[in-house]
């Protein structure tokens, strides 16, 4: 189980890394019932936390409107995977294009952590998309995760993300994949971010 910081900044989407060497937490709240596709409560984000520990790891938490079933059904339009995602926009001047998404428009983040369900099993994964900026391949690494009722947690070790600039922007999403991962067959179900 992860340790929680008592320093919570409600509604914050920027994680500040300045200050004393202690855990720092940023929290985003999201309204219940704001999903697309008439999604089930286990895809409806209500609260997200990102905690940077004194050692540089990121402890990630997502609270859903209802518990995640042991064997969730694939709600339409999902027929391949369901993702619960933490997005790290580390540099507002860059937008790596490519894996895990097909052709997309708009700003894309440099780092993603997600917990997925593929109809058979859950998995925790980190995708370092920074190599895409220089013609390389995204780096895909398993990460520890936990699901307990309506709470989904993942841990991103410092070794995978390294030092990041203070004040980076982050958000959370739930996604349905109607095509294989790496295609354009993904559908945003819910987003938690500040306006």
Question: What is the structure's pLDDT at 8?
Answer: 31
pLDDT at position 13 is 42
Read off the pLDDT of each residue in 39-47 and give the average, rounded to a whole number: 98
**Contacts (Cβ under 8 Å, ≥6 apart) of 124:** 113, 114, 115, 116, 142, 143, 144, 145, 154
Q: Does residue 3 belong to any structural domain of this protein?
A: no
Give the residue carrying structure tokens 């596709």.
37
Domain assignment present for residue 142? The answer is yes
Q: What is the mean pLDDT of the chain?
A: 87
The residues, any chain, with a CB within 8 Å of residue 38's CB and separated by 6 or more, are none
Read off the pLDDT of each residue in 23-41 and give the average, rounded to a whole number. 94
Residues in contact with 152: Cβ distance below 8 Å, sequence separation at least 6, in sequence order: 61, 62, 63, 64, 68, 84, 115, 145, 146
pLDDT bucket at 35, cuts 50 / 70 / 90: very high
pLDDT tens digits along 127-183: 999 999 999 999 999 999 999 999 999 999 999 999 998 789 999 999 999 999 988
- Specify whether the CB–CB gap between 82 and 39 falls below 8 A: no
pLDDT of residue 24: 87
Q: Do residues 3 and 28 lie in contact, with contact meaning Cβ atoms separated by under 8 Å? A: no
**1 located within any domain:** no
* Number of folded domains that form the chain: 1
At 70 the pLDDT is 96
Expressed as residue numbers, the domain containing 30 is 8-192
Distance of CA 117 to the CA centre of its chain: 14
What tens digit of pLDDT does each residue of 157-172 get?
A: 999 999 998 789 999 9
| Whole-number percent of the chain with pLDDT over 70 | 86
Q: What is the pLDDT of residue 105?
A: 62
Least confident stretch, 18-22, 50-54, 152-156, 167-171: 18-22
Residue 3 has pLDDT above 80, yes or no: no
Q: Which residue bears the tokens 């089930």?
A: 40
For 91-156, give the DSSP string: -TT-----TT-SS--S---SEEEEEEE-SS-EEEEEEE-GGGGGT-PPEEEE--EEEETTEEEEEE
Q: Is the residue at 74 inside a domain?
A: yes
């Amino acid at each position: 189980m992860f340790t929680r910081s008592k320093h919570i900044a409600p509604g914050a989407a920027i994680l500040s890394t300045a200050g004393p060497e202690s855990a720092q937490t940023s929290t985003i709240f999201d309204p219940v019932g704001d999903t697309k596709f008439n999604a089930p409560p286990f895809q409806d984000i209500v609260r997200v936390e990102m905690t940077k520990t004194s050692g540089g790891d990121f402890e990630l938490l997502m609270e859903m409107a209802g518990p995640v079933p042991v064997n969730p059904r694939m709600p339409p339009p999902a027929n391949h995977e369901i993702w619960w995602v933490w997005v790290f926009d580390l540099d507002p001047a860059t937008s790596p294009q490519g894996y895990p998404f097909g052709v997309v428009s708009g700003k894309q983040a440099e780092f993603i952590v997600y917990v997925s369900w593929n109809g058979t099993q859950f998995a925790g994964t980190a995708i370092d998309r920074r190599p895409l900026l220089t013609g390389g391949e995204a780096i895909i690494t398993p990460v520890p995760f936990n699901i307990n009722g309506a709470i989904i947690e993942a841990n991103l070790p410092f070794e995978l993300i390294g030092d990041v600039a203070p004040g980076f922007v982050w958000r959370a999403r739930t996604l349905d994949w109607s095509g294989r991962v790496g295609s354009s067959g993904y559908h945003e179900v819910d987003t938690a971010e500040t306006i």
